[in-house]
Structure 1
Amino acid sequence: MSGRHPLPSLRLLPWSALAAGLACVSASASAGPPTLPVPLRLPSVVSVQPASGVEIRYRRLEDTDIPTSPGRLEGIVSGRRWELRSSALLSPQAQASHRMARLDTGWQWRASGPLQTVVLGDTLASGGGWSRPVRLGGLRIGRPLALRPGFDALAPNGVAGAAALPTAAAPMSLAWAQASSDRLAGLFGRAPAPGLLPVSGPVELAAGASDYEFEAGLLRTGWGTEADAYGRGFAAAAWRRGLGGRMTGEARAEVSSVRRAAGLELVRGFGAPGNLVHGVVAQSEADGGVGRRWGLGLARQALGAAWRLSWDTFDREFTPAGAVPGEAALRSRLEAAVRGSLGRRLEAGLSVGHQHVWEAPAEHVVALSLRWGLASGRSLALHLGEQGGAQDQRHARVVLAIPLEPRRR
């Protein structure tokens, strides 16, 4: 059984906890890790505005109803065209000295000229259509940041402690399959929940329109852990332009002290807005090895449903951004997902994935979800899944969601 608190309620999170969180967020690293005096039982989502231009947000990081699971506390001070953000990880079940840890601190300025957006501090390099996002401490300018579907910006540790954001497709799991159809929302431009980064699939630009992004700084590893550190330098630049005939092209390059990579993405729109096919090709050079990757994808809305199909293949020597020694190298990956309505109150989703890793058995996952909308905001969901490969398992779950307070008319 699960529920959600309404956002504007000041009773949900004690002001003493918010004050402690903000103190943690702004604390100097030299002062040592701040602590919370007693275990907290925190809500899943809360947002308060104690003053004009000041906002405090909290969001539980895990999809669970356990009130003591980890969460992200964020403080925002904003002006007419700028924002100062700082966030911390709350772990109520951890030892007292490790219940709070700094996550990100950064200043953002929204410009109307060629700069578009300027971020100074902790940020992300987007990864474009063929690479993967990495955490940086440094500078980002250009178009606003948007992540491709499938990456989790809130999960600690990244890829086995690397700077790269974790992707739910490697290794494949039932958790990936159950969330795959939900990622279709990002492909068709739905607004993100408050406090979350926008998610966007390939973009179709009008003929002659263009945008860009540039990121440079130090790669950040161990995000959200005691091993948090800034390491080697990294820089990336991308330029995107509408070529006419509903064709859009983007070129991107990345460089660090141990790796160089470059690639292209072509997007072709067809039919209704948001329907498109896209392809990528890229090459990386690291530790004397040169490898390539290719990919094709389709995103479409038809028959009252959203559809996604993608295929990628990788050379053994292709090195992704933020790679660490011993990381499993992908060989090929096939993903398919569909989500749509079967009636006024019934929604269904189906996800299928098949993946090969070099020198490892193939993996596959299949997941089906059904959700019935009930009266008074209640819902009943059924999740079925099967995973095969290194771990064979089946999964079945029924979830009844009941609001904690009556819906307001």
Structure 2
Amino acid sequence: MRYDTTWKYSDVNRLISVQVGDFISDSLTWSNSVHMAGLRVSRNFGVRPDLVTYPLLNWSGSAAVPGTVNLFVNGYKTSSQSVNAGPYTLTNIPFINGAGEATVVTTDALGRQVSTTLPFYVSNKLLARGLSDFDFSAGALRRDYGTKSNDYGEGAFSGIYRYGLTNRITGSVHSEASEKLWLAGAGADFTPGQWGTLSLSVSHSQYNSRQNGEQYTSGWSYYGRHWSMNLQHINTSGTYLDLSNDSNDAPSSHSSDQATFSITPAGQTAGTFGLGYFAIRADDGIRTRLANASWSHASAAAPASV
């Protein structure tokens, strides 16, 4: 049994990877991946582990006299630098994701201190302003993977493109095409202040030149110091299809909802408790619901999870 045969090249300077052979196309939170054989060109931030792709906490201020500025994030000192009188910008701010609290303490030559505290929210779902991410895949759809070695279907194309419009808004577009299907959609992720990340998208598909459908998605996620939550709703109308439905003849869902919640009540002492709920309603009206509960604890001796 042959599974995947592929050749891959990565350009470190341009952050681009080229893949020839069998591969799985990339996807967005509101689209699906497909198994294909052909050519894939994509952005690859993984070749630069030092590169931070999302907007970081940025702090600028002004000092009346020369002194020292100390930055505390969530109660921990993260940076200290000497500043001259006038405006300044703090650098070397640590990589953070989620909600927190930043305190800037300015100390002058006489030891007098001025402290300013502000809440913040940083989302790694966004791209920094001016940064782009993409994945373009073209080839033949892979069929019966795991049971047949060389079963390929019709030619197809799948592409996604994301761009950091601002440090608070990231736009995205997605398209798919095959002999019988075409699909186009657009979406956005944005952070409204310190209230997490909102995600919205809309897509339209056409199959056999006469079957049309739409998909609408909305989502919200929040990651705090002691708890986190993620909500997503997907709804389709008409006959909405994509390459994943067209390639394996799987039944499509009319709507789906998912909600996850986790809490770490006492740091890592008591571990992390989680709850999840998932509901899917297929086009034939059949509903599937699933709920789960979990607990995990990470320790140097023996990590555990239930």
TM-score range, shorter chain: 0.5 to 0.7
State the alpha-carbon separation in 2 of the partners of residues 379 and 262 from structure 1: 43
Aligned to 1:363: 288
Q: What is the 5 A alignment of 1:8-407?
A: 101-114=1-14, 116-144=16-44, 203-226=125-148, 228-244=150-166, 246-270=168-192, 275-287=196-208, 288-324=210-246, 327-343=250-266, 344-372=269-297, 376-377=301-302, 379=304, 381=306
Contact 1:293 1:315 in 2 (8 A): yes
Structure 1: segments with no counterpart, 5+ residues:
1-100, 147-187, 190-200, 382-409
SS at match of 2:125: coil
State the alpha-carbon separation in 2 of the partners of residues 245 and 373 from structure 1: 33
Matched residue type, 1:242: G
State the alpha-carbon separation in 1 of the partners of residues 172 and 35 from structure 2: 22
**Aligned-pair Cα RMSD in Å:** 2.8
Q: Report the alpha carbon displacement of residue 338 of structure 1 after superposing the two structures with TM.
A: 1.4
Q: Report the alpha carbon displacement of residue 374 of structure 1 after superposing the two structures with TM.
A: 7.7
Structure 2: segments with no counterpart, 5+ residues:
47-96, 99-122
Aligned to 1:91: none
SS at match of 1:315: strand
Q: Report the alpha carbon displacement of residue 380 of structure 1 after superposing the two structures with TM.
A: 6.0
Query: Are residues 211 and 250 of structure 1, via their aligned partners in 2, closer, same or farther at CA, if it must alter by over 3 Å?
Result: same
Q: With structure 1 as the length reference, what TM-score do the two structures score?
A: 0.51
Q: Report the alpha carbon displacement of residue 320 of structure 1 after superposing the two structures with TM.
A: 2.2
Matched residue type, 1:371: S
Q: Report the alpha carbon displacement of residue 363 of structure 1 after superposing the two structures with TM.
A: 2.5
Contact 1:345 1:374 in 2 (8 A): no
State the alpha-carbon separation in 2 of the partners of residues 264 and 235 from structure 1: 17
Q: Report the alpha carbon displacement of residue 372 of structure 1 after superposing the two structures with TM.
A: 5.0
Q: With structure 2 as the length reference, what TM-score do the two structures score?
A: 0.66
Q: Report the alpha carbon displacement of residue 252 of structure 1 after superposing the two structures with TM.
A: 1.6
Contact 2:3 2:149 in 1 (8 A): no
- Percent identity of equivalent pairs: 23
Contact 2:245 2:252 in 1 (8 A): no
Q: Report the alpha carbon displacement of residue 202 of structure 1 after superposing the two structures with TM.
A: 7.9
SS at match of 1:103: coil
Where is the strand percentage greater, Structure 1 or Structure 2? Answer: 2
Matched residue type, 2:207: A
Matched residue type, 1:240: R
Contact 2:274 2:293 in 1 (8 A): yes
Query: Are residues 136 and 380 of structure 1, via their aligned partners in 2, closer, same or farther at CA, if it must alter by over 3 Å?
Result: closer
Q: Report the alpha carbon displacement of residue 134 of structure 1 after superposing the two structures with TM.
A: 0.3
Structure of higher CA gyration radius = 2
Q: Report the alpha carbon displacement of residue 113 of structure 1 after superposing the two structures with TM.
A: 5.0
Runs of 4 or more above 6 Å deviation: none
Matched residue type, 1:364: R
